[in-house]
Amino acid sequence: MGQETITRAVNERYAKAVMTGEEMCCPTGYDHEDLQAFIPQAVLKVSYGCGTPVGLSTVQPGETVLDIGSGGGIDCFEASRRVGQTGRVIGIDMTDEMLALARTHAPTVAANLGYAASNVEFRKGQADAIPVEDGSVDLIVSNCVINLAPDKSNVFREMFRVVKPGGRFTISDIVADQPIPHYLLEDREKWGDCLSGALQWGAYWGNLRTAGFLGLHQVHMLPWRVIDGIHFLSVTLTGYKLPPHPPASTLRFATLQGPFRRVVDERGNEYIRGNPVSIESSTSHLLKSAPYTNHFVLSESPVTLTKEDSRWSAVFPDEAACIWEGHFALLTGPFLEVEDDDSHVFRCGDSHEICSKTLKVLRSKLYSSHFAIINRAQETISPQPGSCDVSGGCC
């Protein structure tokens, strides 16, 4: 299907949804009671997101927030509350009916918030040609929209163009664990259902990185649907546009604390747990951002960590046989590559079959935020202990 056909199908689908108020898409994490206090029911009814707009929890008063695919305006109105009267919110959407609904209710929301005038503006536009000036936005949010855009690379390039140096994005979207086959790519209905346009995990991450974003990492993940063995996941992810020339840093060394034995950051620097590595100012700036910062000691002179140091961390597998139960792990950033204490190497975006012992390691508190874990076993299985070394080594 050509790009124009996809855009028309999606446009018609959402224009119809506004009229019928049908229920669509995926679980979100809103506190509806809280939102009802200032957002009209007509807006809440057409909430078609697929995640918790956690990005909004980082909003500071006075900031400028852009919502790509703002729909009925739910996230814009919540952003309006958080940025306060001195802040500004821009919602863009390509569907006239959605824009009309959002614009109708903007004055009511402003009055409910006690604002003299609305600080939200809804503009008509496409996600791959965002009608916003270069470098003017502090935070980009988007809730279940980018999968609907036929050309994601252009969307990510546009996001990078409009965000300020030092700005960030937090988006919720649908991704898949496998490439989408042609019979789904050619299905107009399933495009509108947020399925056919889902990118594979690695491609999504890769395109964001190519656009220039760094510090890419998953904030939240929910398995959503399985169709013909393809797992569709609702993910919320964050990334940063770092300033091109950050101020010089005196922190010239980084020592990996763990829990990984070895990692590679997004600039290609490799770190072995406990050993100091000399870093440039730009890398120091990157490693100060969350969640990198939780894994490193940054210092002015080299710091070596030993196992006895309280900052050293590791998670070892049980001394037991491996049992294969259909689990696969995907590294979700921000590292390009990590290695655990059993020599398993995980690369960002690749899925890796894991046994019960590794599953336990990756689900531990120190590891879990870096991985998405799915189970591909479709039928009832009879797992048997496998051939791992019971002294603790693993597959």
Ligand X SMILES: C[S@@+](CC[C@H](N)C(=O)[O-])C[C@H]1O[C@@H](n2cnc3c(N)ncnc32)[C@H](O)[C@@H]1O
Query: Which one, of 121, 71, 75, 118, lies nearest residue 98 by Cα?
Result: 71
Residue with the shortest CB distance to ligand X: 71
3-state secondary structure of 329: strand
Q: How far is the CB of 338 from ligand X (least distance, A)?
A: 32
Integer Cα distance of 122 and 93 in angstroms: 8
> In sequence order, what DSSP letters do the residues of 74-130 get, joined into one string?
HHHHHHHHHH-TT-EEEEEES-HHHHHHHHHHHHHHHHHTT-SS--EEEEE-BTTB-
Among residues 70 and 257, whose Cβ is nearest to ligand X?
A: 70
Among residues 73 and 215, whose Cβ is nearest to ligand X?
A: 73
Residue 145 makes CB contacts below 8 A (sequence gap 6+) with: 68, 69, 127, 173
Q: How far is the CB of 188 from ligand X (least distance, A)?
A: 14
Write the single-letter amino acid at 53. P
| Residue 169 phi, psi dihedral angles, 5° rounding | -130, 155
Q: How far is the CB of 267 from ligand X (least distance, A)?
A: 31
Among residues 204 and 324, whose Cβ is nearest to ligand X?
A: 204
Among residues 69 and 276, whose Cβ is nearest to ligand X?
A: 69
Q: How far is the CB of 374 from ligand X (least distance, A)?
A: 23
Among residues 40 and 72, whose Cβ is nearest to ligand X?
A: 72
Query: Which one, of 174, 202, 245, lies nearest residue 25 by Cα?
Result: 174
Q: How far is the CB of 142 from ligand X (least distance, A)?
A: 7
3-state secondary structure of 213: coil
Among residues 95 and 284, whose Cβ is nearest to ligand X?
A: 95
Q: How far is the CB of 73 from ligand X (least distance, A)?
A: 8
Q: How far is the CB of 116 from ligand X (least distance, A)?
A: 27
Beta strands in the chain (DSSP E): 64-68, 88-93, 120-124, 137-143, 163-176, 199-200, 214-227, 230-240, 253-256, 262-264, 270-272, 276-278, 296-299, 327-331, 337-339, 345-347, 351-353, 371-375
Q: What is the DSSP-derived secondary structure letter of residue 253?
A: E
Q: Following CA atoms 284, 286, 290, 293 in sequence, which dihedral angle do they give, to the nearest 10 degrees? A: -20
3-state secondary structure of 204: helix
Among residues 3 and 343, whose Cβ is nearest to ligand X?
A: 3
Q: How far is the CB of 284 from ligand X (least distance, A)?
A: 36
Q: What value, to the nearest 5°, has the Cα angle with vertex 24 and ends 23 and 27? A: 105
Say if residue 99 is exposed, middle or buried (CB neighbours under 10 Å; 0-12, 13-18, 19+).
buried
Among residues 6 and 287, whose Cβ is nearest to ligand X?
A: 6
Helix (H) or strand (E) holding 356: helix 356-362
Q: How far is the CB of 368 from ligand X (least distance, A)?
A: 26
Q: What is the DSSP-derived secondary structure letter of residue 181?
A: P
Among residues 102 and 216, whose Cβ is nearest to ligand X?
A: 102
Among residues 72 and 215, whose Cβ is nearest to ligand X?
A: 72
Interface residues with ligand X (CB under 6 A) are 10, 14, 25, 47-49, 69-72, 74-75, 93-95, 98, 126-127, 143-145, 148-149
Q: How far is the CB of 25 from ligand X (least distance, A)?
A: 6
